[in-house]
Structure 1
């Protein structure tokens, strides 16, 4: 199997299991390499896992966290992934955050900022946590968006790019800066977390199809599985 699936009875069990796996990742990375780098999705599903993880007694000074994608909004805006991440990890004393966007969220300057920041964090992610929307987007790799094919290219040389979903989601009508598939795949492990039967059905459709432009999540999971077999974990609960 290209990926390993983990099914849980509820969202709380998923959060606890994901937090435990990420704790193991951080302990191994800091012990063997002296530092750890995680790319983390925003959204309701993974945030409880982050809060649990932040309470673990780790040497957080050796850990850098960055969003897998970010809306181009000010950092104090309710829609900012970095804002939510900082709140979730408020108890992780000494942890460092790497932002894709500039403070005021300006899209053009944020795209430049992301490239500069990522050049300073060029090593493999110790783990990537992804979510998935009901349209099968992951990070901000939205089906139908201009530039999606280049952003999904696993051999691409760009680590981050601007994506403007078409149409803009009404709940978050903002341009985005997203890590590209090539950068997401430069990881020791990829964890996809989702809840609900409807999203599970979308995932199954994506796995069965051969249309990455329609189902971006499948392009990332398939390429990750080919790159490092056994390193792709799907966490799902009702």
Structure 2
């Protein structure tokens, strides 16, 4: 784990966007396509806006949300909607794989999503967020389905249900996240910095982010 500290959140945003664009550019110089996984929540929105201005061959990039709330794709809490609104609708011509399927429940939907994303793995670049409970993507401590999602032979996408989440969710599993060529974690605030330090001494079952710390580049600002 490498931690890069930034003087403010604007500098943090620019550094994360720079790392993503640089990493994607390297992949696209070596192969035809790249796969980028992005988180939900409000923290990465400025990064999405910065990425939208980057001179990159976005039509050769496929974007996969790191997780998804089981809500319609036009719902205010949909991660796919967030990515479309703040990145694709800003002129980025990337493809987006939506993990949600309105015709299916989360269990069947996760299986269908696994089939959709399988051909785009491994991830080229992964951006993660983390909660103060040390969850990442929708890998929540104590969640129903966590053990299956942490297993080495886990399917690419699995359903997760947690008492701390408002809706059922589906998530990219730990093997998929660990398989990313480049992985970045973006966190803000002293509470999350303290949580990250605690996670270093815990198991992935206790702190799911711990399963990814060895290869992460962390970007942090107060």
Is structure 2 residue 156 aligned with structure 1 residue 164?
Answer: no
List per-residue Cα deviations over 1:179-210 (Å, max 9, x = no partner).
Answer: 00001111111101000001101111111x23
> In the alignment, which residue of structure 2 is the partner of 1:140?
138
> In the alignment, which residue of structure 1 is the partner of 2:96?
97
> In the alignment, which residue of structure 2 is the partner of 1:228?
none
> 1:105/1:196 Cα in 2 relative to 1: closer, same or farther (>3 Å)?
farther
Q: Are the aligned partners of 2:114 and 2:157 in contact in 1 as well (CA < 8 Å)?
A: yes
Root-mean-square deviation over aligned CA pairs:
1.5
Matched length: 221
Q: Give the superposition deviation at 1:54.
A: 1.1
Q: Are the aligned partners of 1:35 and 1:63 in contact in 2 as well (CA < 8 Å)?
A: yes
List per-residue Cα deviations over 1:39-71 (Å, max 9, x = no partner).
Answer: 111112212111101111211110110100000
List per-residue Cα deviations over 1:125-176 (Å, max 9, x = no partner).
Answer: 11111100111000000001122122112x22411100001x133xxx1000
- Which of residues 79, 82, 107 is equivalent to 1:81? 79
> In the alignment, which residue of structure 2 is the partner of 1:235?
219
- Which of residues 221, 230, 238 is equivalent to 2:213? 221
List per-residue Cα deviations over 1:74-93 (Å, max 9, x = no partner).
Answer: 00000000000111112234
> 1:234/1:105 Cα in 2 relative to 1: closer, same or farther (>3 Å)?
farther
Is structure 2 residue 192 aligned with structure 1 residue 195?
Answer: no
Q: Which runs of 5+ in 2 are unaligned?
A: none
> Secondary structure of 1:78's match?
coil
List per-residue Cα deviations over 1:80-135 (Å, max 9, x = no partner).
Answer: 000001111122342110111114674234213211112232x3211111100111
> In the alignment, which residue of structure 2 is the partner of 1:55?
53
Which TM-score applies when normalising by structure 2? 0.94
Q: Are the aligned partners of 1:65 and 1:97 in contact in 2 as well (CA < 8 Å)?
A: yes
Q: Are the aligned partners of 2:122 and 2:179 in contact in 1 as well (CA < 8 Å)?
A: yes
Is structure 2 residue 203 aligned with structure 1 residue 211?
Answer: yes
Give the Cα separation in 2 of the matches to 1:48 and 1:105.
Answer: 32
Give the Cα separation in 1 of the matches to 2:218 and 2:10.
Answer: 16
> In the alignment, which residue of structure 1 is the partner of 2:147?
149
Is structure 2 residue 15 aligned with structure 1 residue 12?
Answer: no
> 1:145/1:201 Cα in 2 relative to 1: closer, same or farther (>3 Å)?
same
Which TM-score applies when normalising by structure 1? 0.88
Give the Cα separation in 2 of the matches to 1:51 and 1:137.
Answer: 25
